[in-house]
Chain A
Amino acid sequence: MNPVSYQRASSLSEAVQMAETSRLLGGGTNLVDLMRKGVEQPSRLTDVTALSAAIEETGSGGLLIGAAARNSTVAAHPLVRTRYPMLSRAILAGASAQVRNMATVGGNLMQRTRCLYFADVAGSRCNKREPGTGCDAAGGFDRYHAILGASSACTATHPSDMCVALAALDASVRIAGPAGERTVPLVDFHRLPGDRPDLETVLELGEVIETIEIPASPFAARSGYRKVRDRASYAFALVSVASGLTLREGRIDEARIAFGGVAPKPWRAHRAEAALRGAVPSAEAFMAAAALELADAAPLAGNAFKIELAKRTLSAVLTDLTGDDR
């Protein structure tokens, strides 16, 4: 790890000021690891964990979560558990209890891919680390890589569970910067790689994540998060599905679906949602919607199984959510 200086931001404006010349440090669960590996080499760190960690209701029945709130705090919060159970479940599916106690919501949004070649500074080329140098994941171990939204430059996936639920819940990200504040829908917060896989989010230099806002949700009763992985716990997703829906007169009124583990960003399944609107719940309808969403999937040598896995997992989640016992 390179020598680094450490400072704490005590206010949002201070953080914005410091952000121009330093890297922001939340729980450190990803950044410190990447610094030790040499992937990240900041010379200055700004600890932003003293910024708002509040979880409070908005006037419109939604929820506002401070970027410094710990993942575990969000998952255990009564309002999250009762109104957005899929978010609780998604957070609880991620990492370990220790990591969730450390990781902040803002940091979770900013976490970087777990691509093995991205992490291997000494031995592998990576366009995300050094644009234009090449990608050794191509032709290498790509089992965890993307089937949707990737580019020839980069096929790495975004590893977050929490963000998958936030994408399905139409969350938005409040950002403070030198030029003032702005709000970005979470689904637009992360970029697809294109030819610049190093640019992972829309954050500009000096910008700081302030809060996450989740609008009021009618999905609490019928929502869930299912994660499929290589171990029963404490492993990144091969495929995950966050979904919530409402029924009216035996038909699906509205469905929200997002995939994790299949794309460079949390993958909101707009096509599948559209296909399901007004549909009578059935295994056939679910599989058809899943197939539509995955029609453009581009498998790599080692991850073609994800297409079938994603379809089946989505269908199973929807079957569960539309069951009579809900």
Chain B
Amino acid sequence: MTIRVNGTEVASPDDARVSLLDHLREGLHLTGTKVGCNQGACGACTVLLDGQRVLSCLTLAVQADGREVTTIEGLSEGDGLHPLQSAFIEHDGFQCGYCTPGQICAASAMLRELAEGVPSYVTADLAQEHVSVSREEIRERMSGNLCRCGAHNGIVDAIFQVATEKAA
């Protein structure tokens, strides 16, 4: 069985205990995906699994067999930066940079969820098909990604900018 990681087929590990996170970092040396808790509580290990944001620390690598994994290393096309990556730099959406890949991966999926009209806990009217972008919506939807340096404002500003540019 194989996993497609950033477009490349890779073997899944023999040991079923190996998390997708450890497989990426230790097995494939794709260390852009970070380990912050291994408890499903911080979001630093966020990757896209078939386009959906998930926690790679609580995903066994074997569960990703036959599926497509996108990590921070595969987020942008070519050598350039993804618009979110540029916006994070512009708005200083990080300090130490450790939670950053997880924040950016989560944000990229979140933008798509917003565009598809997926509601959140703070969406006033769940019946509405469209969700309007607001900082509060972004904050709620990004609350699964902890940041200890306190770059929250910059992160939200960066995402808000990309979200509204996209919509414009």
Interface residue ranges, A against B (CB under 8 Å): 1-6, 25, 27-29, 32-33, 35-36, 45, 47, 49, 72, 75-76, 78, 81-82, 85, 88-89, 92-93, 95-99, 101-102, 227, 231-234
Residues of B close to A96: CB separation below 8 A? 43, 143-145
Q: Which of B70-78, B92-100, B120-128 contacts A (4 or more CB under 8 A)?
A: B120-128
Nearest CB on B from A193, distance (A): 25
Assuming the contacts A45-B16, A234-B143, asked whether A82 and B127 have C-beta atoms less than 8 A apart, the reply is: yes
Q: Give the interface residue-count category, chain B.
A: 35 or more
Assuming the contacts A98-B53, A102-B55, asked whether A6 and B62 have C-beta atoms less than 8 A apart, the reply is: yes
Residues of A close to B55: CB separation below 8 A? 29, 98-99, 102
Residues of A close to B85: CB separation below 8 A? none
User: How far apart sit A146 and B58, CA to CA, in the bound complex (Å)?
Assistant: 28
User: How far apart sit A49 and B49, CA to CA, in the bound complex (Å)?
Assistant: 14
Residues of A close to B123: CB separation below 8 A? 92
Interface residue ranges, B against A (CB under 8 Å): 15-17, 19, 38-40, 43, 46, 49, 52-55, 58-60, 62-63, 106, 109-110, 113, 116-121, 123, 126-127, 129, 139-141, 143-145
Query: Would you list 24 pairs from A and B whose C-beta atoms are within 8 A, ordered by A residue?
Result: A1-B17, A3-B17, A6-B60, A25-B63, A27-B58, A29-B58, A32-B60, A33-B40, A33-B58, A49-B63, A72-B118, A81-B119, A88-B126, A89-B121, A97-B141, A98-B46, A98-B55, A99-B55, A99-B144, A101-B49, A101-B54, A102-B54, A231-B143, A234-B143
The closest CB in chain B to the CB of A85 belongs to B126
Q: A95 contacts B59, CB within 8 Å?
A: no
Q: B144 contacts A75, CB within 8 Å?
A: no
Q: A36 contacts B38, CB within 8 Å?
A: yes
Q: B143 contacts A233, CB within 8 Å?
A: yes
Nearest CB on A from B111, distance (A): 12
Assuming the contacts A81-B126, A101-B54, asked whether A93 and B121 have C-beta atoms less than 8 A apart, the reply is: yes
B106 contact from A35, A76, A97, A234, Cβ within 8 A: A97
Residues of B close to A82: CB separation below 8 A? 126-127
User: How many inter-chain residue pairs (CB < 8 Å) link A and B?
Assistant: 103
If A76-B116, A97-B106 are given as contacts, then 13 extra A-B residue pairs at C-beta distance below 8 Å, sorted by A number, are: A4-B16, A33-B58, A36-B39, A72-B52, A76-B118, A78-B129, A81-B126, A92-B121, A97-B53, A97-B113, A99-B58, A101-B52, A233-B121
Residues of B close to A28: CB separation below 8 A? 58-60, 63
User: How far apart sit A90 and B117, CA to CA, in the bound complex (Å)?
Assistant: 18
Residues of B close to A227: CB separation below 8 A? 121
Nearest CB on B from A164, distance (A): 14
Nearest CB on A from B126, distance (A): 4
Counting from the closest, the 8 A-B pairs by CB-CB distance are A96-B144, A233-B143, A6-B16, A92-B121, A81-B126, A101-B52, A76-B118, A234-B143
Q: B54 contacts A92, CB within 8 Å?
A: no
The closest CB in chain A to the CB of B105 belongs to A98
Residues of A close to B120: CB separation below 8 A? 92, 97
B16 contact from A5, A72, A75, A99, Cβ within 8 A: A5
Residues of B close to A233: CB separation below 8 A? 121, 139-140, 143
User: How far apart sit A154 and B66, CA to CA, in the bound complex (Å)?
Assistant: 42
User: How far apart sit A25 and B17, CA to CA, in the bound complex (Å)?
Assistant: 13
Q: A89 contacts B54, CB within 8 Å?
A: no
Q: B127 contacts A101, CB within 8 Å?
A: no
Residues of A close to B40: CB separation below 8 A? 29, 32-33, 99
Assuming the contacts A47-B63, A75-B119, A96-B143, asked whether A4 and B58 have C-beta atoms less than 8 A apart, the reply is: no
Residues of B close to A99: CB separation below 8 A? 40, 55, 58, 144
Assuming the contacts A47-B63, A82-B127, A97-B106, asked whether A102 and B58 have C-beta atoms less than 8 A apart, the reply is: yes
Nearest CB on A from B14, distance (A): 11
Residues of A close to B113: CB separation below 8 A? 97
User: How far apart sit A92 and B127, CA to CA, in the bound complex (Å)?
Assistant: 14
Residues of B close to A88: CB separation below 8 A? 119, 126
User: How far apart sit A3 and B46, CA to CA, in the bound complex (Å)?
Assistant: 25
Q: B119 contacts A92, CB within 8 Å?
A: yes
Q: A98 contacts B127, CB within 8 Å?
A: no
User: How far apart sit A212 and B73, CA to CA, in the bound complex (Å)?
Assistant: 39
Q: A95 contacts B144, CB within 8 Å?
A: yes
Nearest CB on A from B95, distance (A): 21
Residues of B close to A5: CB separation below 8 A? 16
Residues of B close to A76: CB separation below 8 A? 116-119
B144 contact from A32, A36, A98, Cβ within 8 A: A98
Nearest CB on B from A238, distance (A): 16
